[in-house]
Amino acid sequence: MRQRVCILGSTGSIGRNALQVLRQLADDFEVVGLAAGSRWQDMMAQAREFKVAHLAIGRPEYESQLQGELNAEQKLYSGEEGLVELIEHCGCDCVLSAIVGTAGLMATVRAVEMGKKVALANKETLVVTGPVITELARQTGAQLIPVDSEHSAIFQALHAGSAEEIHRLYLTSSGGPFRTWTLEQMKQATPADALAHPVWNMGPKITIDSATMMNKALEIVEARWLFNVTHDQIEVLIHPEAIIHSMVEFRDGCLIAQLGTPDMRIPIQYALTYPRRLERCGEPLDLLRVRQLRFEPPDRARYPALELGFQVARQGGSSGAVLNAANEAAVEAFQAGRIHFGEITERTMEIVGRHKWIEHPTLEQLLAADRWARNEVHACLTC
Ligand code: NDP
Ligand code: MG
């Protein structure tokens, strides 16, 4: 029987890559649900091609235009609750969670509550609700399969040993657009500079996060929850070629790495087909063309976000929700030209430092911490 997939964020970078993968895997998968934020025409074109009956639009202002385009079989859900309704009604076995930020959070939580398989691209879900969603998945039997390339690599490498045998996880990073820039140059960086990633072609939010290394900070927290390790079992390595996607060091000193061309279709396909491996998508890795693999320690002075990631991974509780929300609001302010590049991390650190930490938060408390952090960033902008 074909696996039924719902894609949250089908019009984004991950969503479009996923549909490319699924186009090749039509014998094994059927797309039964799609959700987008504003690019409703793109979603409609996808729905026609893949014959999808259940659609959701996150921004309700586009609902009326979309209604006019639907055929008799299609059903439309709208707004944040609409994303949750899509999960409840589309009849999927697997949800690809690829909406940027926290907009798709409740729909992803619903998928976990319903015990579905969740291919998780949206790292914010684990950063914000890590302590709650991992416990929920344990209770419902929902599988959380990482799509983020580093976590997919670790997930694959972990098949070589048991959880008790992990010594350390190495998260690799290409170094982003400012790897060779000085601190002074970085202070002057514009949104266009930050959006020019040397390796990966991704959505704007994660690309800016890669420039500040907040992306790696979020990934440290993501790894902490996903693999149930402590912050001091996680190491970050700069690896400019972006061929080794991450590694696990086991207690006998053996390192198991996953290598591949930097192409998100590979971890997306693996997450969808897990535990099987199907035919390759994209270019094979030619090591004779790559020739060298370099490693550098990260410069913590230029990238203070890394320290913050370790701090939040150590604290756990409500810290991740505050880190993510403050950063998301600060990135928006940077894109709008309201703050300088260096202020993204500065403000996020300051707000994380000020929040009233809750050790064992409920989902409601995490959402309240998220709202508080966003308000603090906005209040700082007007003071
Ligand atoms: P994009 O910006 O390219 O796409 C974001 C998607 O989210 C779009 O489909 C967008 O819809 C949708 N969206 C935004 N707001 C809403 C809303 N309110 N309701 C419903 N849908 C909404 O981002 P990426 O694809 O790059 O990233 C998606 C997630 O995957 C992020 O969490 C990112 O951290 C993670 N990720 C991405 C990687 C990558 O290579 N791109 C790698 C690893 C993780 P629309 O465009 O129609 O408004
Ligand atoms: Mg990543």
Supply the pLDDT for residue 282: 86
Last residue of a domain, one of 146, 180, 197: 146
Structure tokens at 205: 């939010």
Q: How far is the CA of 14 from the centre of ligand 1 (A)?
A: 7
State the DSSP string of 118-176.
Answer: EEE--HHHHHHHHHHHHHHHHHHT--EEE-SHHHHHHHHHGGGS-GGGEEEEEEEE---
Tens digit of each residue's pLDDT, the chain (383 residues) = 999 999 999 999 999 999 999 999 999 999 999 999 999 999 999 999 999 999 999 999 999 999 999 999 999 999 999 999 999 999 999 999 999 999 999 999 999 999 999 999 999 999 999 999 999 999 999 999 999 999 999 999 999 999 999 999 999 999 999 999 999 999 899 999 999 988 888 999 999 999 999 999 999 999 999 999 999 999 999 999 999 999 999 999 999 999 999 999 999 999 999 999 999 988 999 999 999 999 999 999 999 999 999 999 999 999 999 999 999 999 999 999 999 999 999 999 999 999 999 999 999 999 999 999 999 999 988 76
242 shares its domain with 196 = yes
110 shares its domain with 7 = yes
Q: What is the CATH number of the domain that holds 137?
A: 3.40.50.720
84 shares its domain with 41 = yes
Atom of ligand 1 nearest to the CA of 10: 9
Q: How far apart are CA 281 and CA 178, in angstroms?
A: 30
Last residue of a domain, one of 116, 146, 176: 146
130 shares its domain with 174 = no
State the chain's maximal CA–CA distance in angstroms: 62
99 shares its domain with 197 = no
Q: How far apart are CA 31 and CA 51, in angstroms?
A: 8
Output the CA–CA distances (angstroms, integers) from residue 197 to 69, 170, 282, 299, in the order listed: 36, 21, 20, 18
Q: How many CA atoms does the CB half-sphere of 354 hold within 13 Å?
A: 11
Range of the domain at 68: 3-146
Supply the pLDDT for residue 382: 78
Supply the pLDDT for residue 381: 82
Output the CA–CA distances (angstroms, integers) from residue 187 to 45, 81, 159, 207, 216, in the order listed: 42, 40, 42, 17, 19
The answer to the question of residue 179 being in a domain is yes
> Which of the ligands is closest to the CA of residue 42?
1
Supply the pLDDT for residue 111: 98
109 shares its domain with 192 = no
136 shares its domain with 13 = yes
115 shares its domain with 15 = yes
The answer to the question of residue 380 being in a domain is no
Which residue has 């639907």 as its token pair?
70
The answer to the question of residue 279 being in a domain is no
Q: How far is the CA of 213 from the centre of ligand 1 (A)?
A: 18
Query: What is the Cα 142 distance to its own chain's centre?
Result: 18
Q: How far apart are CA 117 and CA 94, in angstroms?
A: 5
Which residue has 């709008």 as its token pair?
336
Q: Are 121 and 268 in contact (CB under 8 A)?
A: yes
What is the CB < 6 Å shell around ligand 1? Answer: 9-15, 35-39, 58-59, 98-100, 103, 121-124, 148, 200, 202-204, 206, 264
The answer to the question of residue 365 being in a domain is no
307 shares its domain with 170 = yes
Q: What is the torsional sign of CA 46, 50, 55, 56? A: negative
Structure tokens at 200: 């990966």
Q: Are 246 and 154 in contact (CB under 8 A)?
A: yes
The answer to the question of residue 159 being in a domain is no
124 shares its domain with 237 = no
29 shares its domain with 169 = no
Dihedrals φ, ψ of 94, to 5°?
Answer: -135, 135
The answer to the question of residue 366 being in a domain is no
